[in-house]
Amino acid sequence: MALSVDGLDLLVTPDVDDHNFGCFPMAPWAGRIRHGSFDFEGQRYQLPLNNPPHAIHGTARDHPWSEDGEGVISTPLEPPWPFGGRVVQRFSLAPDALHLTMLGLIPLTIAGI
Protein backbone atom coordinates (compact mmCIF):
# COMPACT_ATOMS: atom_id res chain seq x y z
CA MET A 1 0.00 0.00 0.00
CA ALA A 2 1.19 3.51 -0.76
CA LEU A 3 0.00 6.83 0.56
CA SER A 4 1.48 9.97 -0.94
CA VAL A 5 0.75 13.69 -0.72
CA ASP A 6 2.28 15.99 -3.31
CA GLY A 7 4.76 13.24 -4.23
CA LEU A 8 5.87 12.67 -0.62
CA ASP A 9 5.46 9.08 0.61
CA LEU A 10 3.83 9.07 4.05
CA LEU A 11 4.45 5.35 4.58
CA VAL A 12 7.64 3.29 4.33
CA THR A 13 7.92 1.89 0.80
CA PRO A 14 9.04 -1.63 -0.24
CA ASP A 15 12.29 -0.26 -1.70
CA VAL A 16 13.27 0.96 1.79
CA ASP A 17 12.25 -2.23 3.64
CA ASP A 18 10.95 -5.20 1.65
CA HIS A 19 8.98 -6.74 4.56
CA ASN A 20 8.02 -3.97 6.98
CA PHE A 21 6.49 -1.45 4.60
CA GLY A 22 3.13 0.26 4.28
CA CYS A 23 0.85 0.25 7.28
CA PHE A 24 -0.02 -3.10 8.74
CA PRO A 25 -1.90 -3.65 11.96
CA MET A 26 -0.47 -6.10 14.41
CA ALA A 27 -3.46 -8.42 14.23
CA PRO A 28 -4.82 -10.64 15.59
CA TRP A 29 -2.26 -9.88 18.30
CA ALA A 30 0.42 -7.28 19.01
CA GLY A 31 3.83 -8.11 20.41
CA ARG A 32 5.08 -11.66 20.59
CA ILE A 33 3.77 -15.07 21.47
CA ARG A 34 6.62 -16.85 23.19
CA HIS A 35 7.76 -19.83 21.13
CA GLY A 36 4.62 -19.33 19.01
CA SER A 37 2.38 -21.42 21.24
CA PHE A 38 -0.51 -20.64 23.55
CA ASP A 39 -3.37 -22.43 25.30
CA PHE A 40 -7.00 -21.45 24.91
CA GLU A 41 -9.90 -23.30 26.52
CA GLY A 42 -7.77 -26.35 27.19
CA GLN A 43 -6.31 -26.66 23.69
CA ARG A 44 -2.73 -25.83 22.66
CA TYR A 45 -2.18 -23.83 19.47
CA GLN A 46 1.11 -23.48 17.58
CA LEU A 47 1.79 -20.55 15.27
CA PRO A 48 4.66 -20.21 12.80
CA LEU A 49 7.80 -18.68 14.25
CA ASN A 50 8.05 -15.65 11.95
CA ASN A 51 10.77 -14.14 14.15
CA PRO A 52 12.40 -17.21 15.73
CA PRO A 53 12.11 -18.28 18.40
CA HIS A 54 8.79 -16.39 18.63
CA ALA A 55 5.70 -15.48 16.63
CA ILE A 56 5.39 -11.69 16.44
CA HIS A 57 2.93 -9.01 15.34
CA GLY A 58 0.11 -11.29 14.17
CA THR A 59 -0.55 -12.90 10.83
CA ALA A 60 -2.32 -10.03 9.02
CA ARG A 61 0.97 -8.62 7.71
CA ASP A 62 1.72 -11.88 5.92
CA HIS A 63 -1.58 -12.08 4.00
CA PRO A 64 -2.65 -10.06 0.97
CA TRP A 65 -5.05 -7.17 1.59
CA SER A 66 -7.89 -6.25 -0.73
CA GLU A 67 -9.25 -2.83 -1.51
CA ASP A 68 -12.85 -2.56 -0.35
CA GLY A 69 -13.53 0.94 -1.58
CA GLU A 70 -11.88 4.30 -1.36
CA GLY A 71 -9.54 4.34 1.62
CA VAL A 72 -10.66 0.94 2.97
CA ILE A 73 -8.64 -2.29 2.87
CA SER A 74 -9.21 -5.64 4.57
CA THR A 75 -7.83 -9.14 4.98
CA PRO A 76 -9.33 -12.32 6.42
CA LEU A 77 -7.67 -13.89 9.45
CA GLU A 78 -6.93 -17.28 7.97
CA PRO A 79 -4.72 -20.19 8.98
CA PRO A 80 -2.32 -20.35 10.62
CA TRP A 81 -4.55 -18.22 12.92
CA PRO A 82 -6.93 -20.87 14.27
CA PHE A 83 -10.04 -18.76 14.99
CA GLY A 84 -10.81 -16.89 11.78
CA GLY A 85 -12.07 -13.33 11.57
CA ARG A 86 -11.32 -10.27 9.47
CA VAL A 87 -9.30 -7.05 9.90
CA VAL A 88 -10.42 -3.82 8.25
CA GLN A 89 -8.42 -0.57 7.98
CA ARG A 90 -9.94 2.75 6.97
CA PHE A 91 -7.77 5.71 5.98
CA SER A 92 -8.87 9.29 5.50
CA LEU A 93 -6.77 12.35 4.84
CA ALA A 94 -7.81 15.76 6.17
CA PRO A 95 -5.95 19.01 5.47
CA ASP A 96 -4.21 18.76 8.84
CA ALA A 97 -4.11 15.03 9.64
CA LEU A 98 -4.12 11.43 8.48
CA HIS A 99 -6.83 9.43 10.22
CA LEU A 100 -6.56 5.65 10.55
CA THR A 101 -9.25 3.39 11.95
CA MET A 102 -8.80 -0.35 12.43
CA LEU A 103 -11.60 -2.78 13.09
CA GLY A 104 -11.11 -6.43 13.98
CA LEU A 105 -14.00 -8.78 13.39
CA ILE A 106 -13.93 -12.10 15.22
CA PRO A 107 -16.28 -15.08 15.17
CA LEU A 108 -19.12 -14.78 17.68
CA THR A 109 -18.29 -18.14 19.26
CA ILE A 110 -14.81 -16.89 20.24
CA ALA A 111 -16.22 -13.59 21.50
CA GLY A 112 -18.52 -15.55 23.82
CA ILE A 113 -21.69 -14.20 22.21
Domains of the chain with CATH codes: 4-111 (2.70.98.10)
pLDDT(14) > 80 = no
Q: CA separation (Å) from 54 to 20, 31, 38, 49?
A: 17, 10, 11, 5
Q: What is the pTM of this model?
A: 0.70
Please indicate whether residue 54 or residue 10 has the higher confidence score (pLDDT).
54
Q: Which of 28-42, 43-57, 70-84 has the lowest average pLDDT?
A: 70-84
Which range scores top for mean pLDDT: 1-10, 71-80, 100-109?
A: 71-80
Omega cis (within 30) before 76: no
pLDDT(112) > 60 = no
The predicted pLDDT at position 10 comes to 74
